[in-house]
Chains A and B, each alone.
Chain A
């Protein structure tokens, strides 16, 4: 049929099938700013356009319905301000505001936000924040926490009203000049000075407490615009699925409907006979190569227990067959024509049953490769036994012992861009894998044997990523498309639906805990013992390392006081077991959010039992600067453990500033504050939790960077690091620009491509700014050395001087001699490449860290509880965080706001559950509720800067610690409000209500 649209102000006439959605047709016609979140219920809103001025979701609308209507896509708005001789209209004020305010993270939902904002501002030029939040409530964002988009829309509204707006990055914002020491050599790393006396500086959003001894820097520490923001606000085709290849096939996977079965027989003949089907693959068709899908460095720290296709299925959603067809509809039809005979086996859903005698065994395949203490005959994927000090002695020395059991659920990463990959043979018949991955180099290494290809015959390209959060630290779907390209010799595209994300992707490991803590009456912890039972699901991806981090982070923070600081008594034992549920894997926080739930709940209980302020109890026992990381001598995720001294701990300052900001001492134990006038059934509460994380994996993970100078004084920064929306491309460019004395937009960043960029382990373990950033700095220093050499020669030739390279200082795109003479970067570049003694100035560097300096944080939460129903409204979240030097306040605060929001779901709404046959109860983003813009608590962030001496700019991590402490802080606030004590998250109304009934029963 024919449809006529007024599209972006122009009449268009297209052919469409009656069943085509508007999303399908718009993307087919090249409007790639309309994204797909893989859903059919319109829950994510990434596919939004404006129809007759109102936002609608194109995934849930037929193209035919739009016939005769006016449709606006993001392509109707602005463009890059530099478009050559034709000129440019520039960005639309809303797009510009999103760029300036830092409202763009992964950028996948950004076009939808901008269109929703336009719909609002077209009719309401002066909206309230409530109106803005309502207007964007149709768009789910997993990155930002919505605060930055709201601020961007407020800013755009002001611009559109013709008002003046404050610049985001005024000069001297980071540190008042009078507080600074004179600096002659800005590129020399400064010495650690500790916290010293501090001053608060209010940035666009975050407050940053800086040390007065901080050296002023030009770009590091400044809220620079993200290097990819301009293309993302325009909805440019930058994501994996945004390219179309000639003759590309669509892949689909037949997923198992049963939780545990042998495949007795598969008949694919009817599917293969269906016109338009190019290939159908089963386990009988491809090589049987055992591997692990975990995207980790070599050697793989976990069991090898997975095949691309197997003759056994181990969870509802496991793979049974692959199909490639000309269209999605044909591929779906083909799936329905595959006849499978299953021999069903007993199923194992409860992790507590996994190690019991007689339990069904999931992995009896002979190819299984053990790792460390894995034992598939007992369904054990991994085990951990960590003893520090003398735990029994510690308990004997305790005045009181507290022992409880806790539990945390399985939750989903829920990145808005689902997993997606496109594979093809290139002109050299090398396999090109274009994939939305956090780990392109691991993809290449892991898949080579699976596909029967030498690694050099594979090229992995990582375009922009629409969020990952660990979910894409998995080599999970690339093999599907690759096998089908190998067999069909054609390009193949495979994209998960939202339902597949729930039934066949990875998740956070659910865990059960028993925590026993010995304390003296003064609050000194004498011993802390945790047993952890982790459910890894059907496969052991990240099994050992995630749970190792549970102990390594949560059980390391509190060492005790006095003599116990030198010799803490800690035990961490864990069993990581298989069940017939979808495999767990990496998820932002990587084991630490699980561990901090029991630890921080228990600390609160202890404080109340001892009559202590919960903050005082924590400060008394937590790690301090100069102390040994207690786990560093006994366990490491990477190589052999090596002692690590913790140089910086900003917890005391986090407490000081955080308590003042939230009014802790005014609200805590204040009965007047707890009550809500005229609503006796509502109770308010305030809670706190501490957190410690890590920065990278010591001795193991390596990042590389390459920098090339161009003749105009710009630089190409090639990095293997994978910016999954966090802003790491920008942050790395800032650090390199700082060293080279140029602007950030002089750095042309390219990441990542296994053919063209240096190796990088990928985006995980909170390592990019620290590891890849150090590599970028060292590469920049090599380039800077050559630039200075060439600058000295140019200055000497011109002015008959005798300067040497070490005399030269780079700043403001210039190379200065001590007498003030200078040459520009473009002069240096041009001269070096074209005029004399020609050379290509380049620098390559890599970095592996011997330490993993922990960031620290204090998380506060305020809640209101409806004691009639158990419903909880989280009113505010405040995180005071020590992440070392903040390279970019906008991207860093975006990490904190987004992380707290993701963790808010872990605290209150998010949970993956299964029925008695192992079938998922939540398969969309309706039942699995993530927070929307119009129900968010107030978010507040305070950065406490410390200077980490192991990094050239003093940085530590920020991305993951944000996940760690929200859930226990919320639960502690609930207890404060109404006495309901939760041992399992999330705090659903039912759980809170159940806990209240226990109180009522005790009272009666």
Chain B
């Protein structure tokens, strides 16, 4: 359970708290995960709501999302790709979107997270403090549980010019998806495909190529690899490659 609560007002102050040795201290975004009563171990939290991480900036083609931007705040930003906003809207319900931050989502969302899948497809770059360490989301996700590039995720950087196509497989229009599929395409043709399924701990890269070519085969291969033995294996391995094929064609 939470034994101490801190609310710093600067990044530096937050980093000072977070850098204390021999203590279990974690950053608190929206609190939607860390507030759970069932967490038995003792830890301290550093609430990030007042350190200015809720900025949304546009600079040329580059979008910068402060890690403490709430999902609902981002949903209102027309500068974000429509499909990214769609993915964010399907991350959780309205009340939780008013609380949950994009940074917290990146840190804790599961393998089927629509937002995480979309951001990974967009090849989002994460900036960590201290030392302003930059790392691509897709490169970091496999090591998310074990390695953090810094003490504090400060911001997420995106290219606003990319085309994004999202498909969520779900039982109903607002159901949390069984599978999240995202295809991002750069103006030069680079195509990045990411899929998330509930079984995995993070969305996985299907393909990152100079063109959409080979997306179907890559999806088939990825499905065979990561869905083997999964209860939805037959369904997903049949449907996902076809959907990705159609999505890449649509993106082209």
A interface residues, Cβ below 8 angstroms from B = 1, 18-19, 21, 40-43, 45, 48, 51, 54-57, 59-62, 64-65, 67, 116, 134-135, 137-139, 328-329, 332-333, 336, 868-871, 873, 908-909, 926-927, 929, 931-932, 934-935, 986, 988-990, 993-994, 997
With A19-B1, A19-B37, A986-B171 already in contact, 20 other A-B pairs whose C-beta atoms are closer than 8 Å? A40-B35, A41-B96, A42-B32, A45-B93, A56-B99, A57-B96, A60-B99, A61-B32, A64-B7, A67-B7, A135-B94, A138-B96, A868-B246, A871-B170, A873-B172, A931-B172, A932-B93, A989-B170, A989-B239, A990-B235
Residues of B within 8 A of A873 (CB): 172-173
* Number of A-B residue pairs having CB atoms within 8 Å of each other in the complex: 140
Looking at B32, B38, B47, B238, the one whose CB has the most chain A CB atoms below 10 A away is B32
Q: Select from chain B the residue with minimum beta-carbon distance to A67.
A: B7
A-B pairs, top 3 by smallest CB distance, nearest first, are A138-B95, A138-B94, A935-B173
Say whether, besides A18-B4, A869-B169, A909-B172, A993 and B95 are in contact (CB < 8 Å): no
What does the 1/0 interface line of B14-57 toward A look like (CB < 8 Å)? 00000000000000101110111110100011010100000000
What does the 1/0 interface line of B86-110 toward A look like (CB < 8 Å)? 0000001111101100000000000
Instruction: Give the Cβ gap from B84 to chain A, nearest Cβ, in Å.
Output: 18
Instruction: State whether A990 touches B95 (Cβ < 8 A).
Output: no
Give 27 pairs: A residue, B residue, CB < 8 Å, sorted on A: A40-B36, A41-B32, A42-B32, A45-B95, A55-B94, A60-B99, A62-B35, A62-B45, A62-B47, A67-B7, A116-B95, A138-B94, A329-B37, A333-B40, A336-B40, A868-B239, A870-B235, A871-B170, A873-B173, A909-B172, A926-B176, A929-B171, A934-B174, A986-B171, A989-B169, A990-B235, A993-B235
Say whether, besides A65-B31, A67-B7, A869-B239, A56 and B47 are in contact (CB < 8 Å): no
Contact of B35 among A43, A61, A986 (CB under 8 A): A61
Instruction: Give the Cβ gap from A67 to chain B, nearest Cβ, in Å.
Output: 7
User: Cβ of B251 < 8 Å from any Cβ of A?
Assistant: no
User: Cβ of B221 < 8 Å from any Cβ of A?
Assistant: no
Looking at B34, B95, B99, B246, the one whose CB has the most chain A CB atoms below 10 A away is B95
What does the 1/0 interface line of B123-149 toward A look like (CB < 8 Å)? 000000000000000000000000000
- The CA of A55 and the CA of B238, in the complex, are separated in Å by 40
Instruction: State whether B31 touches A929 (Cβ < 8 A).
Output: no
A-side interface mostly = mixed
- The CA of A125 and the CA of B98, in the complex, are separated in Å by 21
Instruction: State whether B171 touches A988 (Cβ < 8 A).
Output: yes
Contact of B2 among A62, A135, A139, A333 (CB under 8 A): A62
- The CA of A56 and the CA of B71, in the complex, are separated in Å by 12
Instruction: State whether A1 touches B95 (Cβ < 8 A).
Output: no
Instruction: Give the Cβ gap from A118 to chain B, nearest Cβ, in Å.
Output: 14
Instruction: State whether B93 touches A18 (Cβ < 8 A).
Output: no
What does the 1/0 interface line of B173-195 toward A look like (CB < 8 Å)? 11110100000000000000000
What does the 1/0 interface line of B209-252 toward A look like (CB < 8 Å)? 00000000000000000000000100100110011001000000
Say whether, besides A62-B35, A868-B243, A137 and B174 are in contact (CB < 8 Å): yes
Instruction: State whether A18 touches B37 (Cβ < 8 A).
Output: no
Instruction: State whether A42 touches B99 (Cβ < 8 A).
Output: yes
- The CA of A934 and the CA of B96, in the complex, are separated in Å by 15
User: Cβ of B61 < 8 Å from any Cβ of A?
Assistant: no
Contact of A62 among B31, B92, B93, B242 (CB under 8 A): B31
Residues of A within 8 A of B40 (CB): 332-333, 336
Instruction: State whether A137 touches B31 (Cβ < 8 A).
Output: no
User: Cβ of B3 < 8 Å from any Cβ of A?
Assistant: yes
User: Cβ of B159 < 8 Å from any Cβ of A?
Assistant: no
Instruction: Give the Cβ gap from A104 to chain B, nearest Cβ, in Å.
Output: 20
Instruction: Give the Cβ gap from A980 to chain B, nearest Cβ, in Å.
Output: 13
- The CA of A38 and the CA of B45, in the complex, are separated in Å by 24
Contact of B98 among A18, A56, A868 (CB under 8 A): A56
Instruction: Give the Cβ gap from B211 to chain A, nearest Cβ, in Å.
Output: 23
- The CA of A56 and the CA of B96, in the complex, are separated in Å by 6
Instruction: State whether A40 touches B93 (Cβ < 8 A).
Output: no
Say whether, besides A21-B35, A869-B243, A871-B170, A989 and B235 are in contact (CB < 8 Å): yes
Instruction: State whether B93 touches A134 (Cβ < 8 A).
Output: no
- The CA of A579 and the CA of B227, in the complex, are separated in Å by 30
Instruction: Give the Cβ gap from B194 to chain A, nearest Cβ, in Å.
Output: 18
Say whether, besides A43-B93, A137-B174, A1 and B5 are in contact (CB < 8 Å): yes
Instruction: State whether B32 touches A60 (Cβ < 8 A).
Output: yes
Instruction: State whether A48 touches B95 (Cβ < 8 A).
Output: yes
Residues of B within 8 A of A990 (CB): 178, 232, 235
Q: Select from chain B the residue with minimum beta-carbon distance to A24.
A: B37
Instruction: State whether A60 touches B35 (Cβ < 8 A).
Output: yes
Instruction: State whether B3 touches A19 (Cβ < 8 A).
Output: yes
Q: Select from chain A the residue with minimum beta-carbon distance to B168.
A: A871
Q: Select from chain B the residue with minimum beta-carbon distance to A65.
A: B31
Instruction: Give the Cβ gap from B159 to chain A, nearest Cβ, in Å.
Output: 29
Residues of B within 8 A of A135 (CB): 94
Q: Select from chain A the residue with minimum beta-carbon distance to B167.
A: A869
Residues of B within 8 A of A934 (CB): 173-174
- The CA of A868 and the CA of B235, in the complex, are separated in Å by 11
Residues of B within 8 A of A61 (CB): 30-32, 35, 99
Q: Select from chain A the residue with minimum beta-carbon distance to B98.
A: A54
Residues of A within 8 A of B2 (CB): 18-19, 62
Instruction: State whether A64 touches B1 (Cβ < 8 A).
Output: no
Residues of B within 8 A of A989 (CB): 169-171, 178, 235, 239
Residues of A within 8 A of B243 (CB): 868-869
- The CA of A328 and the CA of B1, in the complex, are separated in Å by 12
Instruction: Give the Cβ gap from B185 to chain A, nearest Cβ, in Å.
Output: 21
User: Cβ of B165 < 8 Å from any Cβ of A?
Assistant: no
- The CA of A46 and the CA of B40, in the complex, are separated in Å by 25
Residues of B within 8 A of A64 (CB): 5, 7, 47
Say whether, besides A62-B2, A64-B7, A55 and B98 are in contact (CB < 8 Å): yes
User: Cβ of B72 < 8 Å from any Cβ of A?
Assistant: yes
Residues of B within 8 A of A18 (CB): 2-5, 44-45
Instruction: State whether B174 touches A932 (Cβ < 8 A).
Output: yes
Q: Select from chain A the residue with minimum beta-carbon distance to B1.
A: A19
- The CA of A927 and the CA of B178, in the complex, are separated in Å by 10
- The CA of A134 and the CA of B95, in the complex, are separated in Å by 11
Instruction: State whether A65 touches B246 (Cβ < 8 A).
Output: no
Residues of A within 8 A of B3 (CB): 18-19
Instruction: Give the Cβ gap from A50 to chain B, nearest Cβ, in Å.
Output: 10
Instruction: State whether A909 touches B32 (Cβ < 8 A).
Output: no
Instruction: Give the Cβ gap from A39 to chain B, nearest Cβ, in Å.
Output: 10
Instruction: Give the Cβ gap from A835 to chain B, nearest Cβ, in Å.
Output: 58
- The CA of A327 and the CA of B174, in the complex, are separated in Å by 37
Q: Select from chain A the residue with minimum beta-carbon distance to B34.
A: A62
Contact of B175 among A57, A59, A333, A909 (CB under 8 A): A909
Instruction: State whether A57 touches B170 (Cβ < 8 A).
Output: no
Instruction: Give the Cβ gap from A130 to chain B, nearest Cβ, in Å.
Output: 12
Residues of A within 8 A of B38 (CB): 40, 332
Instruction: Give the Cβ gap from B92 to chain A, nearest Cβ, in Å.
Output: 7
Instruction: Give the Cβ gap from B202 to chain A, nearest Cβ, in Å.
Output: 18
Say whether, besides A64-B47, A932-B174, A137 and B37 are in contact (CB < 8 Å): no
Residues of B within 8 A of A908 (CB): 171-172
Instruction: State whether B37 touches A42 (Cβ < 8 A).
Output: no
Residues of A within 8 A of B36 (CB): 40, 60
- The CA of A929 and the CA of B176, in the complex, are separated in Å by 8
